[in-house]
């Protein structure tokens, strides 16, 4: 009989938040090749988890069915080709293709980072997916350089919270953001230090961006919204600008009368990207970016991991309900006692 563990499961495979439960008889993973076996202390929630729970997310073929892509924990074993620099007992955090809502996870050592003693388990569990996604959007897709301006949509989301801090630290000329609530806009400017934040429910945000930039627009836009912001993005981006699309919270079907003429007039590049579907080498390079650009600033607290709320994992349904409410300003974390 294979060893078992506890893990969050979904009744009937997919379903509503009420379908989540802890399955005491989940097979315990066995690390192979470059993998380590990590006993999980905490894991972070991401919006993709909600979509996957409902059967609406294209899960990579190598991912286990268990939800969760970011975690912190302690290494308990290895495969036979593990990356040098890790040993049993090391405290780590990391990114996985799935399986983090569990007591144990088998994950590539190429996606692990040593946990700084300055950070808590909960903070570290909120770093990998969000900060690596932000780094990917800025550097690999957006081709950010110091002196460029940047706009982050959904500015109080975890990825944008990371991205705003990264943009400021990497000498952006200006950092703008949007949000749907005045309270979130205030948080973005006062806590994160953005140049300005625009409420998309009470203002024409693209016109506000143009006004703030004296008509020039912004060099890079990071967008999670999609169709409903498509025209605004084209209007608000600067000449030779980049629009990086990472999600479709505002739908995938463009409204009528969208004018794409500025694609040529401004020489705009619009590029979609994802992280979870990328191969291990690509993700490993991003891990190295994280260690280089962010880890020292986590240690000295220049960068802050904003944690909205911590739940014991037995309250996973409550954690998912909070994420569904779209009222958070930072990470939702679950701990495994």
Question: If DSSP codes are grouped into helix, strand and coil, which group holds residue 113?
Answer: strand
Helices 280-293, 128-135: axis angle to 10 degrees equals 90
pLDDT at 42: 98
Separation between Cα atoms, residue 260 and residue 39, nearest integer Å: 50
Confidence label for 280 from pLDDT (cuts 50, 70 and 90)? confident
Question: If DSSP codes are grouped into helix, strand and coil, which group holds residue 15?
Answer: coil
The residues facing 26 across adjacent strands are: 5
Instruction: Please give the full DSSP string across 200-258, using - where no structure is assigned.
Output: TTTS-HHHHHHHHTTT--EEEEEESS-GGGHHHHHHHEEEEEEEEE---TT-SSPPTT-
Spatial neighbors of 104 by CB under 8 A, at least 6 apart, are: 5, 28, 29, 37, 38, 39, 40, 76
Separation between Cα atoms, residue 145 and residue 98, nearest integer Å: 32
Separation between Cα atoms, residue 295 and residue 292, nearest integer Å: 6
Please determine, for residue 142, whether its predicted confidence score (pLDDT) is greater than 80.
Answer: yes
Confidence label for 150 from pLDDT (cuts 50, 70 and 90)? very high
Which pLDDT tens digit goes with each residue over 227-272?
Answer: 999 999 999 999 999 999 999 989 999 989 999 999 999 999 999 9
pLDDT at 1: 56
Beta strands 218-223; 149-152: pairing state = parallel
Fold classification of 131-272 (topology level): Rossmann fold (3.40.50)
Q: What is the mean pLDDT of residues 35-47?
A: 97
What value does the mean pLDDT of the chain take?
Answer: 95
Which pLDDT tens digit goes with each residue over 83-132?
Answer: 789 999 999 999 999 999 999 999 999 999 999 999 999 999 999 999 99
Separation between Cα atoms, residue 323 and residue 52, nearest integer Å: 14
C-beta of residue 130 within 8 angstroms of C-beta of residue 306: no
Separation between Cα atoms, residue 18 and residue 20, nearest integer Å: 6
Helices (H), the chain: 47-53, 121-125, 128-135, 158-169, 182-190, 205-212, 230-236, 262-265, 280-293, 295-299, 316-324
Residue ranges per structural domain of the chain:
4-127+276-335, 131-272
pTM: 0.93
* The domain defined by 4-127+276-335 carries CATH number 3.90.180.10: yes
Closest by CA position to 330, among listed 312, 305, 293:
305
Please determine, for residue 2, whether its predicted confidence score (pLDDT) is greater than 80.
Answer: no
Separation between Cα atoms, residue 36 and residue 52, nearest integer Å: 25
C-beta of residue 52 within 8 angstroms of C-beta of residue 69: no
């Amino acid at each position: 009989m294979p060893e078992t563990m506890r893990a969050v499961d979904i009744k009937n495979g997919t379903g509503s938040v009420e379908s989540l439960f802890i399955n005491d008889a989940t097979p315990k993973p066995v690390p192979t090749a470059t993998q380590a076996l990590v006993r999980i202390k905490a894991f972070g929630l991401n919006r993709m988890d909600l979509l996957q729970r409902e059967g609406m997310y294209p899960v990579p073929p190598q991912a286990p069915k268990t939800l969760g892509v970011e975690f912190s924990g302690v290494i308990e074993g290895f495969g036979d080709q593990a990356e040098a620099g890790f040993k049993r007992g090391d405290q780590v955090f990391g990114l996985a293709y799935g399986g983090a809502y569990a007591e144990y996870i088998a994950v590539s050592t190429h996606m692990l980072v040593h946990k700084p003693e300055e950070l808590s388990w909960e903070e570290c569990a909120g770093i990998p997916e969000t900060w690596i996604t932000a780094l990917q959007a800025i550097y690999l897709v957006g081709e950010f350089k110091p002196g460029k301006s940047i706009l982050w949509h959904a500015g109080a989301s975890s990825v944008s919270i990371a991205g705003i801090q990264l943009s400021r630290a990497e000498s952006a000329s200006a950092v703008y953001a949007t949000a749907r609530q005045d309270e979130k806009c205030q948080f973005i400017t006062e806590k994160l230090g953005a140049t300005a934040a625009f409420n998309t429910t009470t203002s024409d945000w693209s016109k506000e961006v143009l006004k703030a930039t004296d008509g020039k627009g912004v060099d890079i836009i990071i967008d999670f919204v999609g169709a409903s912001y498509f025209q605004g993005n084209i209007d608000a981006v600067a000449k030779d600008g980049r629009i990086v699309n990472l999600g479709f919270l505002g739908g995938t079907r463009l409204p009528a009368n969208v004018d794409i003429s500025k694609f040529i007039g401004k020489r705009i590049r619009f590029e979609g990207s994802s992280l979870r579907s990328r191969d291990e080498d690509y993700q490993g390079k991003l891990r190295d970016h994280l260690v280089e650009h962010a880890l020292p600033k986590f240690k000295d607290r220049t960068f802050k991991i904003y944690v909205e709320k911590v739940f014991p994992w037995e309250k996973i349904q409550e954690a998912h309900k909070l994420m569904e409410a779209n009222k958070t300003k930072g990470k939702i974390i679950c701990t495994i006692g």
